Amino acid sequence: MTATDLTKGEAPQPERPMVLAEQVCKNFGSLKVLRGISLEVKRGEVMCLIGPSGSGKSTFLRCVNHLEVVNAGRLYVDGDLIGYRERGGKLHEMSSKDAAKQRRDIGMVFQHFNLFPHRTALENVIEAPIQVKRKSKADALERARYLLDRVGLAGKADTYPAQLSGGQQQRVAIARALAMDPKLMLFDEPTSALDPELVGEVLGVMRELAATGMTMLVVTHEMGFAREVADQLVFMDGGVVVESGNPREVLANPQHERTRGFLSKLL
Cα(23)–Cα(91) distance, integer angstroms: 15
Q: Tell me, what's the pLDDT at 10?
A: 58
Cβ-contact 168, 156 below 8 angstroms: yes
Cβ-contact 69, 103 below 8 angstroms: no
pTM of the model: 0.92
Residue with more model confidence, 185 or 1: 185
Q: Tell me, what's the pLDDT at 2?
A: 45
Q: Where are the domains of the chain?
A: 112-181
Contacts of 222 (CB under 8 A, 6+ apart): 191, 199, 203
Question: What digits encode the pLDDT tens for the residues 154-211?
Answer: 999 999 999 999 999 999 999 999 999 999 999 999 999 899 989 999 999 999 999 9
Q: Tell me, what's the pLDDT at 20?
A: 98
The answer to whether residue 4 scores a pLDDT higher than 70 is no
Q: Band the pLDDT of 11: cuts 50, 70, 90.
A: low
Percent of the chain with pLDDT over 70: 95
Q: What is the DSSP letter of 155?
A: G
Contacts of 88 (CB under 8 A, 6+ apart): none
> Which three-class secondary structure state does DSSP give residue 106?
strand
Q: What is the DSSP letter of 159?
A: -
Q: Tell me, what's the pLDDT at 257?
A: 96
Q: Band the pLDDT of 12: cuts 50, 70, 90.
A: low
Cβ-contact 190, 119 below 8 angstroms: no
